[in-house]
Amino acid sequence: MLKTLRSAFKGTIIYSVGNFSSKLVGLILIPLYTSKLTVAEFGVLGILEITSQFLIAVLGLSLYSAFFRWYWDKEYITRQKSIFFTILVFVGTVTCTFAIILIFFANPISDFLFETSDYSYILRLLFIVVAMETPAVIVTTLMRVKEKAILYTSLNLIKLIVSLSFTVYFIAGLGKRIEGIYEAQIIGNIVFLILASGFVLKNIEVKFNIKALKGMLAFSVPLIFSGIAGIILTITDRYSLRFLSNLESVGIYTLGFKVANTLKVFVLSSISLALQPIIFKMMDQPNNKRFYSKVMTYLSFGMMILVLAMSMFSKEIIQLLARNQAYLSAWTAIPVLSLSVFFIMLRDIALTGVNLVKKTKIIAFVIIIAALINIGLNILLIPKFNYMGAAIATMIAQLFYFVTIYLYSQKYYRINYEMGKILLIIALGILLYSISLVTINWSLMARIIGKTGLILSFPFILYLFKFYESIEIETMKRLWLIWNNPKRWRDNLRKKN
């Protein structure tokens, strides 16, 4: 099992470079956006971003999940290239067709979202980006399936650098506003698709596999609805703020969300990119359930440390990224949203059971209920607590989603997760953050020292509660001896399993 975990860790490190760079680019651009865009315009950008996420999720038909499952299926192991061709052509055709339709309706969509048609050009740019990025997801999925982490990361880094460069040039150099962001994204996607074409041609067979497509669609249909509901669950907060409050509230909340979501985009996405193929490859291995259980425990431990760091230093982070005082209150939403990301991580691991037994209809049912709960809570809480109400609603909905999926997953594919340890991690995390609030009026240096001390105390307090097994303590000692010298990191990563 340790060998498999090391493989997952190595993949995570490589994938994390690309994902970290992606989020780093986002953080680099925040000072530019907050200095060049008003809070209301930043709110408009937030609405556009979640609209893009929604369209990519819907038009992708959740087929990337089926692709993972079918690619390793024994029945199709000799037809992997034709499966890739089939899914790429199908998703590309669907996406382009709907993007063209949406472009024609850009004016009324702009009127509905922003009560003006001034943003119709930007929406057309957004629809073009969606038409390019949705099939690109299938291409990057193949890279993940084939464990081409370095290629995946390299191409995405190039795309990010191109997009970043043109974004800065368009906004800071030419004086463009939101439209410059999406024009830069189009250029970045063009470069990515050109560079990825060689990989695509090498792994494709021009043969349409109807049988495989029908099977993948049957697998994905419940996931389509759950995917839509999942996006609704994710974007309800900003849409609700748009219609129940104002664009300024959307802008403040969006900044807090972007910072907290760094944990999801960088950490969770990187882990998922490396871990998901391994989970499916291990589904018939004799020790798979212990592996799945320990994955949840280890990830909870590591994620809570990051949640604590993000939450305790949220005010300092906002002060660093946004010098405009109008954005400062965004820090108050970050701890709640960071805890939401922690529950998302637990949910993703708990989904292992229902995915392995192909009970995807359960996912659709649960996520639809979670989305409805989120909508109801937003309607109830936003009028009273504004953007903090949206943050609380998101956290409660994500907690419900995890707990319900966990219970269903245990029913159909029982895994002995260490829930006592998970609850201890959550309780201790909440306690340490609460204590950190005492430092809010201290000097900057005193706050940094005090909060850092609280974070460092986390693993040692867990030790007092006998959190670690003997083999885990011994493994940590060995890992420290291996990784304590940064000069050896490169050689360690190159070592074969």
Q: What's the pLDDT at 2? A: 47
Q: What's the pLDDT at 361? A: 74
Q: What's the pLDDT at 357? A: 74
Rounded Cα distance between 416 and 111, Å, is 52
Let me know if residue 470 belongs to a domain: no
Domain range enclosing 357: 2-417
The one-digit pLDDT tens for each residue of the chain (497 residues) are: 545 545 555 555 555 555 555 556 666 788 888 888 888 888 888 889 888 888 887 777 666 667 766 766 666 666 778 878 888 888 888 889 989 999 999 999 998 888 888 889 999 999 999 999 888 888 888 887 777 777 887 888 888 889 889 999 999 888 888 899 999 999 999 999 999 888 888 888 778 777 777 777 777 766 666 667 777 777 888 889 888 888 889 999 999 998 998 888 777 777 776 676 677 666 666 777 878 888 889 899 999 999 999 999 999 999 888 877 888 889 999 999 999 999 999 998 888 878 777 776 787 788 888 889 999 999 999 999 999 999 999 999 999 999 999 999 888 888 889 999 999 999 999 999 999 999 988 998 999 999 999 999 999 999 898 888 777 777 766 766 666 666 666 665 565 44
Among left, alpha and beta (phi > 0; psi -120 to 50; other), residue 37 is beta
Residue with tokens 């996006």: 231
Let me know if residue 433 belongs to a domain: no
Q: Which residues of 183-209 are buried (b: 16+ CB within 10 A; e: fewer)?
A: bbbbbbbebbbeebeebbeebbeeeeb
- pTM for this prediction: 0.73
Token representation of residue 293: 């259980």
Token representation of residue 129: 């980006």
Residues in the chain, how many?
497
Rounded Cα distance between 89 and 196, Å, is 16
- What is the identity of the amino acid at 455? I
Q: Could you write out the DSSP letters of every residue in 159-196?
A: HHHHHHHHHHIIIIIT---HHHHHHHHHHHHHHHHHHH
Rounded Cα distance between 365 and 405, Å, is 10
Using DSSP's 3-state secondary structure scheme, residue 192 falls into helix
Let me know if residue 474 belongs to a domain: no
Rounded Cα distance between 232 and 53, Å, is 10
Rounded Cα distance between 100 and 130, Å, is 11
Query: What is the total count of domains within the chain?
Result: 1
Let me know if residue 236 belongs to a domain: yes
Q: Which residues of 39-64 are buried (b: 16+ CB within 10 A; e: fewer)?
A: bebbbbbbbbbbbbebbbbbbbbbbb
Rounded Cα distance between 145 and 71, Å, is 8
Using DSSP's 3-state secondary structure scheme, residue 135 falls into helix
CB atoms within 10 A of CB 142: 25
Let me know if residue 489 belongs to a domain: no
Token representation of residue 202: 């090498």
Q: What's the pLDDT at 496? A: 45
Determine contact, residues 53/299, Cβ cutoff 8 Å. no
Enumerate residues 6+ apart whose C-beta is below 8 A from 273.
Answer: 11, 12, 15, 19, 144, 149, 152
Let me know if residue 252 belongs to a domain: yes
Rounded Cα distance between 174 and 176, Å, is 6
Nearest to 68 by CA among 293, 267, 358: 358
Determine contact, residues 337/331, Cβ cutoff 8 Å. no
CB atoms within 10 A of CB 344: 21
Let me know if residue 469 belongs to a domain: no
Report in angstroms the alpha-carbon separations of 70 from 79, 217, 339: 10, 11, 34
Let me know if residue 174 belongs to a domain: yes
